[in-house]
Chains A and B, each alone.
Chain A
Amino acid sequence: MSAMAYHRPSSLAEAAKLAAGDPDARILAGGQSILPSMKLGLLAPSAFIDLAALGELRGIRADRKSVTVGAMTTHAAVAASPEVMAAIPSLAKLAAGIGDPQVRNRGTIGGSLANSDPAADYPAAVLALNATIRTNRRALPADGFFKGLFETALAPGEIITAVEFPVPNTASYVKFPQPASRFALVGVFVAQTSTGVRVAVTGAGPCAFRVKVLEDALARRYAPQACEGISLPSGDLNTDIHASAEYRAHLIPVLAQRALA
């Protein structure tokens, strides 16, 4: 590992150039997922491209229509932000429940989304709130961003700069945490947005996904009772030592119901 290189670019353009020049390099944000992955032998990057010096990627801007969170903004900063608490309280609550205090003090929204951990919390918010992921090249819609297990629509070397969340009419997130890691065994984010009701699930499949049958039911009646009697197929869902696919499938409408209660 000591053959690794480390770069601390002072501009986004320099970071992009470094990334383009070395396909085996990894962008480093807070490092809360990448460093444990390296210790487990799952990753062995040739170099880190640390975004720590790019102050323009940190911070939160909010107006009546949207909340924009810089990619290098920590979970703790989102959780404590009066702007986020006022505009989208469910997003502040989600950030306050990620990992533990130490992880929230280092981990970033950009890092979480680029990593696309199947049990991460932020992907559920991004999908349910129909957020836009801004990069150094383009603006990516939430739908289609999460492609699979640790896989996103980002091109090699593409860098997330900010995430723009439209302010919903109302929204709520409930997660059933795996008690040791506090990752979502299943997490369900329900939102009433300008483009309709959106229900996004994390922790249950290879990546975050929407659930049309729940969205349709809640579009007819936005109330907990609308989730009653809905059962979902477990075929593509995760099974591990913590829960079976059937259990996860069962939790989805249950948590959607709790989110609305």
Chain B
Amino acid sequence: MAVPIELTVNGKTVAAEVEADTLLSSFLREHLRLTGTHIGCDTSSCGACTVHVGGRAVKSCNVLVAQLHGSEVTTIEGITPRDGSLHPMQAAFKACHGLQCGFCTAGMVMSAIDLLRHHPHTTDEEIRAGLEGNLCRCTGYQNIVKAVAMAAKAMGRQRP
């Protein structure tokens, strides 16, 4: 059954007809060609596919597009400034070497941004708890936690 949907993705209105069981992750990658969102486990465990829906981190492999009619979705492609520079979270991941293979990074960055928006003054322990839904098989997490702590300072300075 084709379901008509309309939602906002990275600030642009998207109207489409999708099958009832189309996952947000496949819609983003295959229909919109936004391949920055990675599908890792496809079982709602690893968090590589994390995007924002209404500003909150969700696993796009565990949401139907049909559920998001009228919602605002932001992917990793939608967080960079128009001038092509990096978001402070991306810059911090680069500066702290918070990645090795990079497969989990887009999801880590999206989760970490949601975390800092709601808890701007986080301890390392809170950062670890806030990233419980994201798995990394390379780094051992140390540099990821450092990156998020650095981004917290940078994002704090950005706020008016």
Contacts and interface: CB of A to CB of B under 8 A. Distances in A.
A48 B115 contact: no
B58 interface: yes
Closest 4 CB pairs of A and B: A100-B133, A6-B20, A105-B56, A4-B20
B114 interface: yes
Contact of A102 (B21, B58, B67): B58
A99 interface: yes
Contacts of A8: 66, 69
Contacts of A103: 44, 59, 62, 133
SS of B interface (majority): mixed
Interface of B: 1, 3, 19-21, 23, 42-45, 47, 50, 53, 56-59, 62-64, 66-67, 69, 111, 114-115, 118, 130, 132-133
A5 interface: yes
Interface string A81-111: 0000000000000000001111101100000
Interface of A: 1-6, 8, 28, 31-32, 35-36, 38-39, 47-48, 50, 52, 76, 80, 99-103, 105-106, 180-182
A249 to B, nearest CB: 28
SS of A interface (majority): mixed
Given A35-B44, A47-B20, A106-B58, A3 B1 contact: yes
A75 B70 CA distance: 22
A46 B47 CA distance: 28
